Amino acid sequence: MKKFILLPFLAVGFLIANSQEITDIGYNNSGTPVNLNGMTFNNVPQNTQISFPIIIYFKNTGADLNSGDSLYLDMQFNENALGILKIFFDKTFATNAETYIGINFNIQTSAFKETNTICCSCIQAIRSGVEETLAGTQKCVTFTVLFANSITEIADNKIKTYPNPVKENLYIENAENSNIYVYNTLGKLLKKVQHVSKTTEINVSDLSNGMYVIKIQNGTAIQTKKIQILK
């Protein structure tokens, strides 16, 4: 069984929110919190240990939690238990208060799959020494990992994307049997079209103005193009 090591600062009181509900799970992208759900991590090294920083967002849906109270979180990664975290509070948090905690866990990259899921739930609270079992509703997010050396970046002038800038419909030519991925600049996957025909049309009118990355993957070969959406 793979072992996951949680860093010691998990029990630092001032980081902790007053919560009985997990509202979201994010990723600490070099100090910038982003939504982990739908993200893609490229060129992940194989067979090495990395620190994977996530952010758990809390909401206290129950009674006030006071200084000295604690909360237990059940963490899972790809259906494997990461362990139970005991969270200590150093001050009172009122009902409906919201905040977050940063968590790093060390993980062997061999534990990642192409599609990965992290889940978290609040399972127990201790108020003034009295244990309270919580419903434990899970919050799960899914993200993609592409390993280094598993994908070869290619330059194929036959593949064309137009128009650029694009307002509504993006056309991709000569990419038959490929998978098309549309990402924002933070690496979040926004659209995916599989096994495309020779000419493919992707409606991007629902996306905001800005720069985006188009990845065209056929087997282990991938080509990257940048587009601008301008309405």
> What's the half-sphere exposure (Cβ side, CA atoms, 13 Å) at 219?
3
Residue given tokens 């997010």 in the structure block: 141
Strand, helix or coil for residue 194: coil
pLDDT tens digits, 163-192:
999 999 999 998 888 889 898 877 788 888
CATH number 2.40.50.140 is the correct assignment for the domain at 5-147: no
Distance CA 130, CA 69 (A): 9
CB 118 within 8 A of CB 12: no
- Res 15: pLDDT: 32
Place of tokens 């001032």: 14
Domain ranges of the chain: 5-147, 152-229
Q: Do 5-147 and 152-229 fold alike per CATH?
A: yes
pLDDT in the model for residue 118: 95
pLDDT of residue 11: 35
Convert the pLDDT of each residue in 19-78 to its tens digit.
Answer: 478 999 999 987 888 889 988 887 788 778 888 999 999 888 888 888 889 888 899 999
Proportion of the chain above pLDDT 70, given as a percent: 87
Q: Which residue has the higher pLDDT, 219 or 129?
A: 129
Give pTM, 2 decimals.
Answer: 0.63
Sequence-distant (6+) residues with CB within 8 A of 204 are: 166, 168, 169, 170, 182, 191, 212, 229
pLDDT at 100: 85
Architecture of domain 152-229: Sandwich (2.60)
